């Protein structure tokens, strides 16, 4: 999945690095993580002309992992942040770039079904930004874990949800 998107990035002067550990386990349907990261990376490519995109997984609060996609692109101002995850929350200056304005709203909907959170940070317009999401980590004692799949090649499965 990241590889497919990397091809899109070739059209621009952009490098993509996937720094998600291969053995990371999460308690969430892999298709959801895939959709989330796909949306974030797709946006990062669309709204970044040059520089880099970094995909990370870091420990969050106990029992949670925080995935993030950081870019060196268009960024946003603090007052723009609230609309990004809303339906049709496109920023005016991006009207020339194709999009429905629903990708991030879908991400928020999917992740909130797992009790996770979404968010975005930027130092301002033109200064890049980081979009992040928190996902419950596998509790191995409670059953088979779902492995996070950085390549996005897996497509299976249900998983237990955080209560
Ligand atoms: N990485 C980013 N850098 C700067 N602005 C962004 C970034 N990601 C999203 N945005 C802003 O948030 C808006 C909403 O993003 P969202 O993904 O929901 O819609 P979209 O990309 O316009 O369309 P689509 O539904 O096809 O993904 C974008 O239109 C853009 O203005
Ligand atoms: Mg989008």
Please name which of 87, 137, 107 lies closest in space to residue 43, comparing C-alpha atoms: 107
9: which 2 tokens?
């990035």
Ligand 1 geometric centre to CA of 42 (Å): 9
- The pLDDT value given to residue 44: 97
- Take atom 8 of ligand 1 and give the residue whose Cα is closest: 43
Judged by its nearest atom, the ligand closest to the C-alpha of residue 47 is 1
Between CA 137 and CA 87 the distance in angstroms is 28
Residue 100 vs residues 30, 91, 111, 123, 137: alpha-carbon distances, Å: 24, 12, 20, 25, 31
156 lines ligand 1 (CB under 6 A): no
User: Could you tell me which residues are beta bridge partners of residue 119?
Assistant: 132
What does the CA dihedral 72, 121, 35, 30 come to, rounded to 10 degrees?
110
Show the domains of the chain with their CATH numbers: 2-139 (3.30.565.10)
DSSP designation for 150: T
Ligand 1 geometric centre to CA of 43 (Å): 6
32: which 2 tokens?
């959801």
| Residue 51: strand, helix, or coil | strand
- Give me the numbers of helices (H) and strands (E) for the chain, helices first please: 4, 7
130 lines ligand 1 (CB under 6 A): no
Judged by its nearest atom, the ligand closest to the C-alpha of residue 81 is 1
Between CA 100 and CA 147 the distance in angstroms is 31
Please name which of 66, 86, 87 lies closest in space to residue 130, comparing C-alpha atoms: 66
pLDDT tens string for the chain (163 positions)? 666 666 677 778 899 999 999 888 888 888 999 999 999 999 999 999 999 999 999 998 999 999 999 999 999 999 999 999 999 999 999 999 999 999 999 999 999 999 999 999 999 999 999 999 999 996 543 334 444 444 433 333 333 333 3
In sign, the C-alpha dihedral spanning 2, 3, 4, 5 is: positive
């Amino acid at each position: 999945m990241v590889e497919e998107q990397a091809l899109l990035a070739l059209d621009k002067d952009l490098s993509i690095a996937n720094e998600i550990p291969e053995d990371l386990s999460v308690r969430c349907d892999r298709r959801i993580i895939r959709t989330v990261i796909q949306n974030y990376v797709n946006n990062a490519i669309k709204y970044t002309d040059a520089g880099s995109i970094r995909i990370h997984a870091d420990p969050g609060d106990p029992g949670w992992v925080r995935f993030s996609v950081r870019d060196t692109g268009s960024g946003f101002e603090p007052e723009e942040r609230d609309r990004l995850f809303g339906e049709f929350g496109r920023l005016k200056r991006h009207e020339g770039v194709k999009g429905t304005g629903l990708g991030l709203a879908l991400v928020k909907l999917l992740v909130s079904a797992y009790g996770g959170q979404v968010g975005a940070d930027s130092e301002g317009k033109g200064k890049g930004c980081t979009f992040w999401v928190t996902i419950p980590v596998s509790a191995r004692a409670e059953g088979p874990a779902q492995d996070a799949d950085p390549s996005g090649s897996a497509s299976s499965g249900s998983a237990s949800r955080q209560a």
